[in-house]
């Protein structure tokens, strides 16, 4: 039985055969493909620690945050199998994606296209897995393997001490890291009602130096102050 180009791409990714990957991608193989087990070529590359293969697939458009049927991402697989270089490649892809999305959002806001932005997410259901926050379509909003990125953010915003602001709690990864630096005041703005309720159930509202503000940052500006460090996720 002749295998499809995408099936061959999965095999090449698992083997770390960069030349074969290049040939298949040039011939039109789809890097976003999920095989019968729900695994993408990028996941195969990550699981087997092939960083160069991962780079090629990402450059061709492979989604860094795609999830398998068991809600496992390429980053999870690289971390699980202790493939540091492959993990770093995927982490950098996540950082770049955040930067691009942030730039798009800022341009849209300047062009007057931001009205109502983010409201669909805020009205959507979210689900907390053991190591992921997912939307109603089972797309990952935040994943545990992003923790090193969140810790780097926290280190940067806490370097001056004093008061720190984080907009968007999510799984709380960055806020947990911020707390380890012991800021004088740690303000968290969270707009999603289910995430907000989970924060309260988890005891965040009882922490001495934490102030929680519920709502979109655009709507709660009068409740905010001046801060020595800020982490900002637009809604």
Distance CA(51)–CA(55), nearest Å, equals 6
Q: State if pTM tops 0.75.
A: no
Are the CB atoms for 36 and 65 separated by under 8 Å? no
State yes or no: pLDDT of 141 exceeds 70. Answer: no
State yes or no: pLDDT of 207 exceeds 70. Answer: yes
Distance CA(164)–CA(213), nearest Å, equals 13
Position 175 scores a pLDDT of: 93
Handedness of CA 114, 119, 122, 126 (dihedral sign): negative
Return the number of other C-beta atoms located less than 10 Å from residue 164's C-beta: 26
State yes or no: pLDDT of 13 exceeds 90. Answer: yes
Distance CA(146)–CA(130), nearest Å, equals 14
Position 108 scores a pLDDT of: 54
Convert the pLDDT of each residue in 147-181 to its tens digit: 777 888 888 889 878 999 999 898 888 999 999 99
**34-48, 136-150, 210-224, range with the lowest pLDDT:** 136-150
DSSP 113: -
Quote the radius of gyration of the chain (alpha carbons, Å): 20
Of 8, 2, 5, 57, nearest in space to 32 by CA? 57
Of 113, 97, 94, nearest in space to 105 by CA? 113
Convert the pLDDT of each residue in 97-122 to its tens digit: 665 555 545 555 555 554 444 555 55
Which domains does the chain possess? 5-88 (1.25.40.20), 146-232 (3.40.50.150)
For residues 1-23, average pLDDT: 96
């Amino acid at each position: 039985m002749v295998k499809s180009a995408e099936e061959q791409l999965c095999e090449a990714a698992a083997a770390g055969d960069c030349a074969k990957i290049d040939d298949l991608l040039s011939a039109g193989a789809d890097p976003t493909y999920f095989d019968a087990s729900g695994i993408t070529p990028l996941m195969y590359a990550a699981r087997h620690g092939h960083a160069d293969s991962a780079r090629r697939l990402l450059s061709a458009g492979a989604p860094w945050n795609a999830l398998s049927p068991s809600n496992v991402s390429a980053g999870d697989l690289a971390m699980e199998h202790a493939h540091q270089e492959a993990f770093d490649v995927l982490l950098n892809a996540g950082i770049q994606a955040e930067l691009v999305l942030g730039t798009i959002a800022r341009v849209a806001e300047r062009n007057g296209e931001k009205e109502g932005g983010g409201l669909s997410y805020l009205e959507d259901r979210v689900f907390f897995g053991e190591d992921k926050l997912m939307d109603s379509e089972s797309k990952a909003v935040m994943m545990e393997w992003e923790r090193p990125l969140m810790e780097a953010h926290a280190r940067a915003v806490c370097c001056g001490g004093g008061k720190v602001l984080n907009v968007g709690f999510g799984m709380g990864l960055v806020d947990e890291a911020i707390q380890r630096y012991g800021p004088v005041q740690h303000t968290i703005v969270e707009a999603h009602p289910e995430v907000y309720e989970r924060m309260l159930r988890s005891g965040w509202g009882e922490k001495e130096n934490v102030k929680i503000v519920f709502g979109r940052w655009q709507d709660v500006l009068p409740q905010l102050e001046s801060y020595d460090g800020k982490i900002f996720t637009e809604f």
